[in-house]
């Protein structure tokens, strides 16, 4: 799994939005520390969390399973642009048969951590390869995709929704792959933004 932060909104935009409510402009100084305290007090402590929606983050998330993608789609107040199976399954078409969870299979599959499950994923991968090799269209063949099939996406989310995501998905009862994603996303955040999210994380 790889998570790259592509862009983010500066904190002063959120501070400006908060000051709009009280018309208290012109008080940002001390290297932005007053803005940081203002956002923490209003957005987090006083729970006017709608003001955090002015902060946006865009991440490039690579080497995750379609199982994780399905979990991620439950967090609806976000935008996802996902690698298309309609156009990219051709990458599998010319492969030789797969018979074990080796380095070649790992190019396409995420390991579950269970040898038996991973073995079945390889069988599903080879079935998919066969469908493509005999000329079944990508649109039909993708019904046979295993949940472990690798994908990637660009994910944009505001700070309020990201807090919700990190709170829910860092818990020990979350699926291990999406739990790992929460910590990777947090680590990819700008250092001066992490204070807004640090209390959302459950210790791993």
**Residue 171 has what DSSP assignment?**
S
Tokens of 190: 């700008």
Residue 8's SS3 state is strand
Q: Tell me which architecture the domain covering 2-64+69-79+155-200 has in CATH.
A: 2-Layer Sandwich (3.30)
Q: Is 169 a catalytic residue?
A: yes
Find all residues with CB under 8 Å of 52, minimum gap 6, and list them. Answer: 14, 39, 43, 158, 159, 160, 163, 196
Query: How many angstroms separate the CA atoms of 82 and 51, rounded?
Result: 28
Residue tagged active-site, from 19, 129, 160, 169: 169
Per-residue pLDDT in tens (0 to 9) along the chain, 204 residues = 999 999 999 998 998 888 887 766 666 555 556 677 888 888 776 667 899 999 999 999 999 999 999 999 999 899 999 999 988 898 898 899 999 999 999 999 999 999 999 999 999 999 999 999 999 999 999 999 999 999 999 999 999 999 999 999 999 999 999 999 999 999 999 999 999 999 999 865
Nearest-angstrom CA–CA distance, 149 and 109: 5
Q: Where are the domains of the chain?
A: 2-64+69-79+155-200, 85-150
* Length of the chain (residues): 204
pLDDT of residue 110: 97
């Amino acid at each position: 799994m790889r998570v790259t932060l592509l862009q983010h909104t500066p904190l002063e935009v959120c501070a400006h939005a908060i000051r709009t409510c009280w018309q208290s402009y012109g008080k940002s100084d001390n290297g932005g520390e007053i803005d940081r305290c203002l956002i923490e007090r209003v957005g987090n402590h006083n729970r006017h969390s709608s003001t955090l929606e002015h902060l946006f983050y865009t991440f490039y998330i690579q080497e995750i399973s379609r199982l994780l993608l399905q979990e991620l789609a439950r967090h609806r107040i976000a935008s996802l642009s996902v690698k298309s199976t309609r156009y990219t399954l051709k990458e599998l078409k010319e492969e030789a048969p797969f018979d074990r969870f080796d380095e070649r299979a790992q190019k396409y599959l995420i390991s579950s951590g269970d040898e038996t499950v991973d073995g079945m994923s390889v069988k599903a991968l080879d079935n998919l390869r066969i469908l493509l090799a005999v000329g079944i269209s990508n649109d039909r063949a993708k019904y046979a995709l295993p949940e472990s099939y690798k994908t990637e996406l660009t994910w944009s989310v505001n700070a309020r929704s990201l807090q919700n995501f990190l709170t829910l998905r860092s818990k020990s009862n979350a699926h291990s792959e999406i739990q790992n994603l929460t910590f990777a996303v947090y680590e990819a955040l700008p250092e001066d933004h992490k204070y807004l999210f640090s209390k959302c994380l459950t210790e791993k």
